[in-house]
Amino acid sequence: MADDKTPRVLDDAGPAAPPRKNGELLFDHVWEGRLFGLTMALYDSGAFAWDEFRERLISEIADWEREHPDGSEYRYYERWLAAFERLVADKGLCAAEDLMGRFRDLAARPAGHDH
Amino acid sequence: MSGNGGHKHSHSENELRAEALEAVLTEKGIVTAEAIEAVIRLFEEDIGPMNGARVVARAWTDPAFRARLLDDATTAVGEIEMVMILEAPLVVVPNEPGVHNVVVCTLCSCYPSGLLGISPSWYKDPAYRSRVVREPRNVLSEMGLELEPGWEVRVWDSSAELRYMVLPERPPGCDDWSAERLAALVTRDSMIGTGRPRLPSEI
């Protein structure tokens, strides 16, 4: 196991803590659970140290809060997504152009063909 | 990637961004769809206490690991290859002759579900949460666990900041067992402290 493998501890309180109901994780949309799984699977492969993700998540949330003082339309997993995109780019795991290209391809699918 | 106009609202854009990430990372072979699905299953299904049982079995067979576990459980459990996510830093408290530990969350139902799966309904029951602190012996006795008179009972209150798990004592009659075999003896309740591990004759 890599030396920089910080223990994976999901925050239970504070801004970086995921939404929960009765102590269990709460996903509003299927993609949120899927992204959560992707993040954890990538962590398990040793691609990053947990704190590297956590720091970016905290900073994404703080940035959003600064830009949205009224706090409306806040979505936790939207911040998670932004933090994960940054992590993947910073770690050189995939190029931003590749992601952008794939995003455009997916968005261009005819209606009714995306799931 | 936000603000690219078009007719997609934000939820749909997020969904596509997440989908693009997964597609690119799996195609590069950095992560597999199976690994992603394993994590999702962990949260969607009652996986039970298997992760915790593996931690206990390892501690029974590896004294150096046991020492690290009792010193810093949050880090030590990471040594075991398993799909596991801690909800909060973890403390493992060992049962010893004369000392029995039991875990509760008096405020709500904080529970190390990454290790023990979904918590049993009685763990959330207000009666358990209040009574096990005041009269642990009676509660344990009602749950079928009789402690020797004179034994000390330590009650640990889990919180949002800290989760507790009990390291039960290794039962007699399994001295030459492998960690894998021993894990089958470790019950959920023995790691909450409301039960004992199974005996080799019971499996």
Contact flag A102-B23 (C-beta cutoff 8 Å): yes
Segment 71-90 of chain B within 8 Å of chain A by CB: 74-75, 77-79, 83-89
ipTM of the complex: 0.85
Contact list in A for residue B14 (CB cut-off 8 A) is 29, 31, 75, 77-78, 81
pLDDT band at A18, cuts 50/70/90? confident
pLDDT, residue A12, reads 67
pLDDT, residue B11, reads 46
Give me the count of residues in chain B.
Answer: 203
pLDDT, residue B1, reads 40
Q: What is the pLDDT of residues A19-30, one digit of tens each?
A: 776 556 777 788
Contact list in A for residue B19 (CB cut-off 8 A) is 31, 34, 106
Closest CA in chain A for residue B24: A99
- Probe site for chain B from A1, A10, A11, A12 (most B CB atoms < 10 A): A12
Told to judge if B174 belongs to the known catalytic residues of this protein, a careful annotator would answer no
> Hey, is the C-beta of B130 within 8 angstroms of any chain A C-beta?
no
Classify domain B50-202 by CATH number: 3.90.330.10
Contact list in A for residue B35 (CB cut-off 8 A) is 41, 44-45
Q: How many CA atoms does the CB half-sphere of B20 hold within 13 Å? A: 28
pLDDT, residue B10, reads 47
Q: Which residues of chain B have pLDDT under 70?
A: 1-11, 43-48, 83
Helix (H/G/I), strand (E/B), else coil: A3: coil
For residues B108 and A24, the answer to whether their CB atoms sit within 8 Å is no
Query: A58 to chain B, minimum CA–CA distance in Å?
Result: 16
Told to judge if B110 belongs to the known catalytic residues of this protein, a careful annotator would answer yes
Closest CA in chain A for residue B113: A24
Q: What amino acid is encoded at B108 in this protein?
A: C
* CATH 3.90.330.10 segments of chain B: 50-202
pLDDT, residue B37, reads 86
Q: What is the DSSP string of B125-181?
A: -HHHHHHHHH-HHHHHHHTT-PPPTT-EEEEEE--SS-EEEEEPPPPTT-TT--HHH
Contact flag B18-A34 (C-beta cutoff 8 Å): yes
CB atoms within 10 A of CB A60: 21
pLDDT, residue B4, reads 39
pLDDT, residue A3, reads 42
Contact list in B for residue A88 (CB cut-off 8 A) is 21, 25
Q: What is the pLDDT of residues B18-73, one digit of tens each?
A: 999 999 999 999 999 988 888 877 766 545 688 899 999 999 999 999 999 999 99
pLDDT, residue B43, reads 67
**Domains, chain A, ordered by start:** 20-107 (1.10.472.20)
Q: What is the pLDDT of residues A37-95, one digit of tens each?
A: 999 899 988 899 988 999 999 999 999 999 998 878 888 999 999 999 999 999 999 88
Closest CA in chain A for residue B105: A23
Contact flag A94-B25 (C-beta cutoff 8 Å): yes
B189-192: long-range pairs with CB below 8 Å, 24+: B189/B120, B189/B143, B190/B56, B190/B166, B191/B49, B191/B52, B191/B53, B191/B56, B191/B115, B191/B116, B191/B165, B191/B166, B191/B167, B192/B102, B192/B103, B192/B116, B192/B123, B192/B165, B192/B166
pLDDT band at A2, cuts 50/70/90? very low
DSSP symbol at A19: P
Contact flag A99-B32 (C-beta cutoff 8 Å): no
Contact flag A107-B113 (C-beta cutoff 8 Å): no
Residues B139, B189, B45, CA angle at the centre, nearest 5°? Answer: 130
Contact flag B1-A34 (C-beta cutoff 8 Å): no
Contact list in A for residue B77 (CB cut-off 8 A) is 7
pLDDT, residue B87, reads 74
pLDDT, residue B161, reads 82
